[in-house]
Amino acid sequence: MAKSLNEQDENSSPFVKVGECLYRRRTTKGYYALLKHAGKQVRRSLKTTDPALAKRRLADLKLKIGALSKRPDAASVSFDELANRWLETLKPRLKPKSFQRRQNSINQLRPYIGTLTIKQLSPEIFDRWESERSPGIAASTFNNERESIISVLDYAKRDGLVLENPALVLKRRKLPKSAVWIPTKEQFSLLVKTLRISGPRFVDAADLVELLAYSGMRLTEATSMRWRDIDFENGRFVVTGGVTGTKNHEERVVPLFPTLRTFLEKVREEDAPKSDQSIVQIGTAIKALASACKKAGIPRFTHHTLRHFFVSNAIELGIDFKTIASWVGHKDGGLLVAKTYGHLRDHHSNEMAQRMTFSA
């Protein structure tokens, strides 16, 4: 006898109904719940193949959905309001620049979804946002905004306003590879010389430039360093990051490199500083760098260029990536250094290979 249409559909489905709102996947034998919430069907994996555990988790899920349906917040609170609550939780945990970046992302999202309630947000809304927003902005900007959306709705999920995060449909955009410009030693020397002969107001900038280049520190790490952080006797210095701390919130102890020691000893002789005094007296040298580079006719240096300069010199001297990473404050064992600067080691190796001649 031919099977009815309903019987054919049931047999072709990947799920078998085994109880009220309870289904089992034919292939994996895993259990799933199929429930209604806010007028929509919700399918949720119960993450088990055990029938008794599946029933308990189904009961818990029903209670959770029941509690959600009784809360008016998801239907009344807007994305904008929830985002502001979320931002307040970040303030104590983030550095000012990181917090500002999150705040900027939320500000950019407001014209698109700010007035929508949490209940109104759906995968379709975010698909539309992506199609409208993504083409006109850089991949890094899109990824920051995407991460902010997901974080806000994870916050909503934690507080029981939503059952699932509808923004998870958004995928990260691939970041284009940016070329890292590494200045030559001649360009660096010319920069320092130009700063030092450009007048008294450029002296502090020259000190900051040399400190960054000889230590590999980030800008805020260098500008927050005090003389008490330098241990000349034991040949090391401590990177604290000052009030805001380092990028990974951990202090690190770094060897006092010979060139750095010479520079610091020279500055100490000239100024006779106190232990709690800053090594450099300015917070930025960006304008001085632009002026000096233009005057010297060399590519424009940034503070971060000097960090690249430090790392490239270390690689040329044959120092391994893991050691360099520990000096500059990376916690990945050298992966980022290898990814960013690996071509330098290959180039240096090829140059050295040209010296391997055996002619008389």
pLDDT, tens digit (0-9, with 9 covering 90-100), for 288-336: 999 999 999 999 999 999 999 999 999 988 899 999 999 999 988 888 8
Entry field: residues in the chain: 360
Angle at alpha carbon of residue 96, lines to 251 and 141, rounded to 5°: 105
Question: Please, what sign has the CA dihedral across residues 134, 139, 141, 143?
Answer: positive
Q: What span, in angstroms and rounded, lies between the C-alpha atoms of 137 and 146?
A: 12
pTM: 0.63
Amino acid at 268: R
Q: What is the pLDDT of residue 94?
A: 84
Q: What is the pLDDT of residue 39?
A: 60
| Interval 168-195 mean pLDDT | 90
Which percentage of the chain shows pLDDT scores above 90? 56
Token pair, residue 41, equals 């069907």
Mean pLDDT value across the chain = 87
Angle at alpha carbon of residue 92, lines to 86 and 94, rounded to 5°: 80
Using the CB atoms, write b or e for 282-303: b if 16+ within 10 Å: eeebeebbebbbeebebeebeb
More confident residue, 250 or 40: 250
Q: What span, in angstroms and rounded, lies between the C-alpha atoms of 138 and 175?
A: 9
| Interval 124-137 mean pLDDT | 93
Strand (E) or helix (H) holding 16: strand 15-19
